[in-house]
Chain A
């Protein structure tokens, strides 16, 4: 679980940042855009009129060339390099937006996983497709955007072979397995956390723990299908049960009862078309078919337990927010 994309803003005041190590890419009426060339680019925007600079980009991509995993040490190295080159203390800068997420191996194809994650109440849902294949979904609210997408596909298509080999050597990534990325994009951290978030506090252990729990809670808020248990006997899966399975799946999400909807529909059909005896016969068949469908309390596509295990693992594995060598806090004020 780690931070990824980030936008850091900093008032320079009377300090003059040093842009010599940066490449100037564009000049706008009130801003200049520079970039740092690490493994991937990091943008630095200078607003001379308001004495402000902004750093935008993914530190893991900048320092490692991938975002499969990045430790706080990687963050420290990347930020120290940037702030050393700029001649500014970035740890006192405030965060304009950031992403926090995790990559999780899943036992089913990503498209099925995504298809069974439907919506979050009160949030707009969007789908991303490449051709006919569902590759990602996002759930939007004014202050947060929860993204779930096929991470394995990204690694195969975006990363060069050397980096693919590195992540499989270091972190056990396997090309054939399925991986999903679950990521919270905090669009307005100051609104979400009720106050400005500074870089030093964002990297603190307490804050990271809060982000991990938030990620789990947000994931659990996603309404999932996949609760219906497919009948084991072939005879129990006829053409009539299949649409009923889908209806049963959607019950929880759209708040309706399949039995009541079907009853109401039969009632509406005029007696000239279906006599009361016909209606009773159809109702009996529907009841028989509904009996064949059972639902479990939890979706088979719910990976909350895997995320919880990851949080516990992160908690147990040493003290990631202490400077390992010296055992002292790395984030000096």
Chain B
């Protein structure tokens, strides 16, 4: 897929952990008005002994506030959820999730963090690219994006 096309589908966001909390991250930079300003990071639900669940690396849960607007505010009463899975071919990234297959939307979230998501993380949203055939293109684009970003 054309790099320029992917660039137009790409929305980077930066989240930082609120001190004193277990997994509460607040948006501190990047494109606003997409995800809720606060997201919950961590698997708090009971895990099933299925092999699929054991491969899950993490979860994002969030809810838009009543006054907040965002890309997914109209879905599922403003509640969003995505499981985060690893992608071994691109080990520099923490993992990826898809928002939200249940509603027929396939927006890809790729998580990047230099501290294993303990203090901060970058969430890179790729609109409509959460399909198996497009995953690799998105990761390649993001790898180049990170390479070009570093010298600044």
B59 to chain A, nearest CB (A): 21
Using A38-B9, A85-B106 as known contacts, say yes or no to A21 and B127 having CB atoms under 8 A apart.
Answer: yes
Interface membership of B22, Cβ < 8 A: no
A77 / chain B contacts, CB cutoff of 8 Å: 1-2
A269 near B: Cβ within 8 Å?
no
Is A51 on the interface with B (CB-CB < 8 A)? no
B105–A81 contact, CB under 8 A? no
Residues of A within 8 A of B1 (CB): 63, 77
- Residue pair A18, B8 in contact (C-beta under 8 Å): no
- The residues of A that contact B104 with a CB separation of less than 8 Å are 18, 20, 87
CB atoms of B4 and A84 under 8 A apart: no
With CB as the reference atom, state the residue of chain B lying closest to A65: B4
Q: Do A64 and B4 touch (CB < 8 A)?
A: yes
The answer to whether B4 touches A81 (Cβ under 8 A) is no
Question: Is there a chain A Cβ closer than 8 Å to B12's Cβ?
Answer: no
Say if the beta carbon of B42 comes within 8 Å of chain A: no
Q: Is B128 interfacial (CB 8 A cutoff)?
A: yes
A84 proximity list for chain B (CB < 8 A): 106, 128, 131
21 A-B contacts (beta carbon < 8 Å): A18-B103, A18-B104, A20-B104, A20-B105, A21-B127, A37-B8, A37-B9, A38-B9, A39-B2, A39-B4, A39-B8, A62-B5, A63-B1, A64-B2, A64-B4, A64-B5, A65-B4, A81-B128, A84-B106, A84-B131, A85-B106
Would you list the 6 A-B pairs with minimal beta carbon distance, nearest first? A18-B104, A85-B128, A39-B4, A65-B4, A87-B104, A20-B105
